[in-house]
Amino acid sequence: MDLEKESANIKVDTSMTTDIADACNRLLATQEKIAKCEEHLKTLKETEQGLSEQFIPNLMQKSGITMLKLRDGSTVEVKPFYAAKIPASKTDDAFSWLRENGYGDLIKNTVSLLFSKSEDNVATALIEDLKSKGHNVSQRQKVEPMTLKAFVREQIQNGQQVPMDLFGVYIANKTTIKNKE
């Protein structure tokens, strides 16, 4: 194949390049506004957290007030809030402590066994066997999102029909602009 001959036959309509460039610039400007809004939202959430968890509780504590009713009828009250997360590096120690102190029931065990795509019958038989022995077995089946996306794309590109609603298929044209670095 002679690329020079091929490229000579290609005709490019340059009359629309200004419109394309303008649309790309509008897209970039919109993306920039979204980024600024997201940063502003992050700042607002930090301010909200500071007011809710520090500033107002401190003022109420200094005033000796545990509850306050405002003119509009709303009430302001500071109540304890609790959160917990065991660090990954402390999991064994935390679980040992829970067990040793009679709280082992807080620990939930999920047992999983991976089967290949062609072993559905083996998996089903094992589940039935475990259930017959009195085990509370649950089975979670799913198709990975990227696998489903690839399957649908391949089928549509090959002209095959797929149930669009069943798979929640959305098809659109997406423009991506990468800035020079």
Domain extents for the chain?
16-68
Question: Predicted confidence band at 25 (pLDDT cuts at 50, 70, 90)?
Answer: very high
Q: Quick one: pLDDT at residue 138?
A: 82
Residue 62 scores a pLDDT above 90: yes
Give the global pTM. 0.54
Residue 176 scores a pLDDT above 80: no
Q: Are 152 and 167 in contact (CB under 8 A)?
A: yes
Residue 115 scores a pLDDT above 70: yes
Q: Quick one: pLDDT at residue 160?
A: 85
**Neighbouring C-beta atoms of residue 99, cutoff 10 Å:** 13
Length of the chain in terms of residues written:
181
Supply 60's token pair.
């109420």
Question: Predicted confidence band at 1 (pLDDT cuts at 50, 70, 90)?
Answer: low
Phi, psi of 76 (to 5 degrees): -115, 125
Average pLDDT, the chain: 86
Provide the H-helix boundaries in 69-176. 91-100, 120-132, 145-157, 164-167
Residues whose CB is less than 8 angstroms from the CB of residue 108 and which lie 6 or more positions away in sequence, other chains included: none
Over range 111-121, report the average pLDDT: 86
Over range 89-116, report the average pLDDT: 87
- Please state, in angstroms and rounded to a whole number, the distance separating the CA atoms of residues 10 and 27: 28
In the beta sheet, which residues pair with residue 77? 67
